Structure 1
Amino acid sequence: MNSSHSDLQIAGDILEVQHLLQPAREHPATVAEFAGLARSIAADRSQWAHLVQYDAVSRWYHRLRTVPQALGSARAGEAPIGYEVWLLSWVPGQGSGAHDHGASSGILTVLDGELTEHTERGVRSLAAGSQRVFAPGYAHDVVNDSLEPAVSLHVYYPGLTDMPMHPAQSPPATQDAVPA
């Protein structure tokens, strides 16, 4: 097997291949480890629940963790990967607008409630516990279409420095979410 392939290139959707999902380590370096970091934070409500606020006027967010360059995350000859962890709340009707994350990859994990993700490929309902993994340039619009508030966790690696907005688009038919 070619060692230059990432977990995601080898497995396709990493969340579909449960044996590749690994527990978080102190300094994640692979897609699976970043997904594990998000799952471990999601599972420990004491890390985030007391911070959540809801704002009907503007979207609320809180940077939960910043690791500029995660020492020990690099393989031989590679630069360490920095990352950020964000906590967001969504009141009914709030959305992100269509955007991508520049050069950052990411993991979106729904902690409470339900969100809807719109992409050029379709619409996906994301219930609590759902995760989405995305690569640089992945464009989506995330919306709380439900009647209850929602909370999500976002891990960006490297840390988020750019979030270009895109024109709204009408996606094709709905796809069911795959629970994490």
Structure 2
Amino acid sequence: MSLAPVSAHSTHSAHSTRPSDPSPASAHPGPTEAELLSFVRRVAADQALVASLPLDPEGRTWLRLAGPDGSEAWLIGWPPGTGTGWHDHGGSRGAFATARGTLTEHALAARIPTEGWKTLELADGVDRGRRLTPGRGRAFGPHHVHEVLNETAGEHAVSVHAYYPPLPLMRRYSRTGAVLRLEEVERPGEWE
């Protein structure tokens, strides 16, 4: 397994070229959620690699990593007050772990349909939240909808993320109370 960076990016950097995707998941099962979680925890413990990520006080930065067994992996820097907004991972399973600082995850404990809707009213009791301090992580399945935030006032956070199959798309949502609205679908290259 190589932990060597593949490429580095910032929200202020130029667009990069995405490596070609591996064979479809049906032809190769790829790493399990547990294997992805083990990988992100190992990488999060690599303090030399974590320290190599350039941090930007104004926007998130990221470094593409070689993930296990054909997965996509990222080291991500989070300035105080930044977050992802509500999103899913286009049917990929994944895991992430905090390497430095503290991240907060808000997630929905409900399977959200991927097609045929624009607005959903969420049932009571579907909200889940957790704080992830250094070394803590979580794995998730292909229907996971969440947002990740650095809610601290003055500390950068750094995390490691891995997905299999590599992200085919991401759906972005807005949320007002119990109402979840699909806002856009992003393809690779639009978030890199």
Give the alignment's TM-score, normalised by structure 1. 0.65
- Which ranges of structure 2 fall in alignment gaps of 5 or more residues? 1-29, 109-126, 179-192
Alignment of 1:161-180 (within 5 A): 161-170=168-177
Partner of 2:152: 146
Displacement after TM superposition at 1:47 (Å):
3.1
- The answer as to whether partners of 1:97 and 1:168 remain within 8 angstroms in 2 is no
For residues 9-20 of structure 1, what are the structure 2 equivalents within 5 Å?
none
For residues 90-126 of structure 1, the C-alpha deviation after alignment (integer angstroms, 9 at most, x for no partner) is 1110000110101211111000000111123222111
- Note the C-alpha offset of 1:66: 5.0
Cross-structure match for 2:143: 137
Structure 2 counterparts to residues 93-108 of structure 1, below 5 A: 93-108=81-96
Q: How does 1:22-101 map to 2 (within 5 A)?
A: 29-50=31-52, 52-65=53-66, 70=69, 82-101=70-89
The corresponding residue for 2:98 is 110
User: Which residue type is aligned with residue 97 of structure 2?
Assistant: T
8 Å Cα contact 2:99-2:135 kept in structure 1 = yes
Relative to structure 1, the CA distance from residue 143 to residue 169 in structure 2 (aligned partners, 3 Å threshold; closer, same or farther) is farther
User: Which structure's relative contact order is higher, taking Cα pairs within 8 Å and 6+ residues apart?
Assistant: 2
Query: In structure 2, what is the equivalent of residue 176 of structure 1?
Result: none
**Residues in 2 aligned to 1:83 and 1:143: alpha-carbon distance in whole angstroms:** 23
Higher deviation after alignment, 56-65 or 107-116: 56-65
Between 133-142 and 117-126, report the one with greater CA deviation. Answer: 117-126
List per-residue Cα deviations over 1:41-91 (Å, max 9, x = no partner): 2222233321x1222333211111256xx3xxxxxxxxxxx2011010111
Query: CA separation in 1, counterparts of 2:47 and 2:100?
Result: 11
For 1:42 and 1:150, locate their aligned partners in 2 and report how far apart those are by CA, in whole Å: 11
Percent identity reads 39
Q: What is the aligned-residue RMSD (CA, Å)? A: 2.1
Partner residue, 2:187: none
Counterpart amino acid of residue 163 in structure 1: M
Distance between the aligned counterparts of 1:165 and 1:56, measured in 2? 24
